[in-house]
Chains A and B, each alone.
Chain A
Amino acid sequence: MREILDVIFDINNVTATIRMATPIALAAMGGAFSERSGVINIGLEGMILTGAFCGVLGSYISGSPWLGVLFAVVGGGLMGAILAVFAIKLKADHVVSGVGLNIFALGLTSWLMQVLWKNRGTSVSVNGLPMFSIPVVRDVPVLGTILGTHSPLVYMMLILIFLGWVVMFKTPLGLRIRMAGEHPEAADTVGINVHAVQYFSVILSGCLAGLGGAYLSLAQLNWFSMNMSAGRGYMALAANIFGQWNPIGGLGASFLFAFTDALQMRIQTSPIKLPTDIIQMLPYILTILVLAGAVIRSRPPAALGRHYESGRAA
């Protein structure tokens, strides 16, 4: 019993939680922007995967991991643009086109990886992002362990989540996004270009998910492997719902998922004897339980998943 408690309350779990929450929280914020504007985004998974691939590609071509990050953001954004065109312009069912996008991204990245690097499992190793530590904070006892040294993308994520919250709830742009998803007719009436706002939001969500992907392939590891997003996009979607379509709420939910994941990895290396396959199920089961509990109290944007056609002449 004592052993189990030691494992659960290990401070390193907290550090690992922040680390592992990074890609999920970024993608969850992407989901929040997309869905607040009225577009369901199941495609986050494919956007993360594309970001992870493009990150490695950028670093491979240029030798600079930071250019890789830029590639990842652009690659994720492109996937966002594809989803936007299908869901907004071509009026495809949002969920079906999102799933199609995920399969497309899986095929595309696996294909390109083999064409470029002649290997089906993983890419070549590229230059990854160096760790970054904050001079004063790293020396503070507990805080230093938790926040002192991380990948720069982790700090970037924390800043972006805050900025995303400000944009969404404290700026005219955020108001327009939320109006497009709540009541597109009213938004149109007051002169908001609903489709433009939706394009912006979905592409932004792709960029954020792509950045999350870059974390996987350039910070956590320094190579790309087939299907390396491993369901994080779907977890992000659940985190977004649990977080009430709010970037900060999404961060909180991501912490919860990441904590079970961290715990799962910690238990595998601890003396506690539990079958690994059972432990690996934990984050997924938790997601289901959280979702079942969270949706009772949650209210999605009113016009989510709807296709809006402006009455104005084009």
Chain B
Amino acid sequence: MKDGETERRCEHEHEREHEHEHRHERGCGHQVSTREGEPSRGAAARVVRRAAGRLARPGVSDIAYSAVAVLLALVIGAILIAASGYSVIDAYANLFDGAFGSIYNFANTLMMATPLLFTGLSVAVAFQCGLFNVGAEGQLYVGGLASAVVVLVLGPAVPGVVRVLLALVAGALAGAVLAAGPGYMKARLGAHEVITTIMLNYVGVFLTTFLVKTYLKEPGPVDQTPLLPVGARLPELIPGTRVSWGIVLGVAAVMAVDYILRRTSVGYEIQTVGRNAAAAEYAGVNVPGRIVLAMVMSGAIAGLAGSSVVMGTLYRFITNFSPGYGFTGIAVAVLARNKPWGVLPAALLFGMLQSGGMSMQLFARIPADLMTLVQGIVILFVAAPALASMFLARSRAGAGTGGRG
């Protein structure tokens, strides 16, 4: 049990978080944040580091809110299952079994979580700069294709490790290029990145389909590239299962982003732009430059999501291969409250929902689209801290004290 003091601090911490969230959306806050004050040059670095650390690390209240949101969403899912005439126990038992029932099933969960780890991180990085990258879906398509092309073009003369590394770089670059456009248009022209990135999703899908059909198609009914040679793939992490080294790469990406955001001045500047662009500009931050940089980072990570699937799961580029990894990444990032380390459990949870949802559909004959619905509810609930805090307050102090938000 926490004492009142801690509770109040959490509450306060949370309020600021929330304030920050709706302020950064407008791109330019009107209030100049007084939290960071004007420390002397010598103390500045320490203050900066501490402040940056606080921003990027998930706190206790974050985890509690997210957990409440997920539980609420699953309860609503259960109500819908029951209302549609299915057995809730049957559904959730299959969901659980499909996600954790065996080593193979658990490996499947990890496999499903791998691209979500990247896309969730991608969306979270952009969010830290106050940008909403809804374009991870398109970015992962171009990233995946770029990786496949590099592996196929380099051929067997180049060692496998080199091919894999170059393919990963190409995937990240392709994603970064597709994201740089919206970043530039946001920074220089003020074009809302939500719309431009969404439009580029369609461009990414159509463009890769066109390229595969025209130049890279393996003969046959499916629009796909030839298989990547065995030596130039991301190897299996647990032999005999479908989880690849991609997930290790994803964790490494989380560590890298966490480091950049919390320990470097560039990372701190990105977060400052996200919290209050006007104040950042006043403090001498190159706001347009940081916006473009955040989008480039975000796009590169999303591109790697495609590379991880193409090189570690499918072993080829198949047109329209993504079942919406980029969009699920939004749910992951929102659930993680945009903290790099929060992305890891959030991606695992959604990986679980997806692999579990599949066996739910297979064995209990319950449409897996229910999981899309649950994701939507999770986003809505996590986005509304007032709602979750209402529940938390009620469960802590009995009825009546919560509610004002």
The chain A residues found within 8 Å of chain B, CB to CB, are 40, 42, 82, 86, 89-97, 99-108, 110-111, 114-115, 120, 231, 234, 237-238, 241, 275, 277-278, 280-281, 284-285, 287-288, 291-292, 295-296, 304-307
Contacts and interface: CB of A to CB of B under 8 A. Distances in A.
Contacts of B80: 111
12 contacts: A93-B25, A96-B334, A99-B134, A100-B383, A103-B327, A106-B376, A111-B80, A231-B199, A237-B195, A277-B206, A277-B207, A304-B26
Interface residues of B, number: 53
Interface stretch (B208-216, B239-247, B295-303, B339-347): B208-216
Given A115-B84, A291-B196, A107 B207 contact: no
A97 B370 contact: no
A79 to B, nearest CB: 11
B195 A238 contact: yes
| A93, A287, A296: residue with the most chain B Cβ atoms closer than 10 Å | A93
A97 B380 contact: yes
A93 B274 CA distance: 14
A108 B209 CA distance: 29
| A99, A234, A291, A305: residue with the most chain B Cβ atoms closer than 10 Å | A99
Given A103-B372, A115-B84, A120-B367, A42 B379 contact: no
Given A101-B380, A292-B185, 13 more contacts: A95-B132, A97-B380, A100-B377, A120-B369, A278-B206, A280-B206, A284-B200, A284-B203, A287-B199, A291-B195, A295-B192, A305-B22, A305-B25
B330 A99 contact: yes
The 4 closest A-B pairs by CB, nearest first: A104-B376, A107-B373, A100-B379, A107-B372
B199 A234 contact: yes
B25 A95 contact: yes
A291 B384 CA distance: 29
Given A99-B330, A238-B195, A275-B210, A110 B380 contact: no
A93 B367 CA distance: 30
B331 interface: yes
Contact of A91 (B18, B25, B181, B370): B18
A97 B367 contact: no
B198 A93 contact: no
A91 B200 CA distance: 30
Contacts of A82: 380
Contacts of A97: 379-380, 383-384
A91 B386 contact: yes
B384 A90 contact: yes
A36 to B, nearest CB: 16
Given A103-B331, A107-B375, A110-B372, A287 B195 contact: yes
A296 B18 CA distance: 29
A81 B381 CA distance: 15
B181 to A, nearest CB: 8
A92 B367 contact: no
Given A90-B405, A281-B206, A281-B207, A107 B199 contact: no
Contacts of B25: 40, 93-95, 305
Contacts of A275: 210, 213-214
B374 interface: yes
A62 to B, nearest CB: 21
A91 B405 contact: yes
B42 to A, nearest CB: 37
Interface in B213-227: 213-214
B159 interface: no
Contacts of A89: 386
B242 to A, nearest CB: 24
Interface string B176-195: 00000100010001111011
Contacts of A304: 26
B21 interface: yes
Nearest to A90: B384
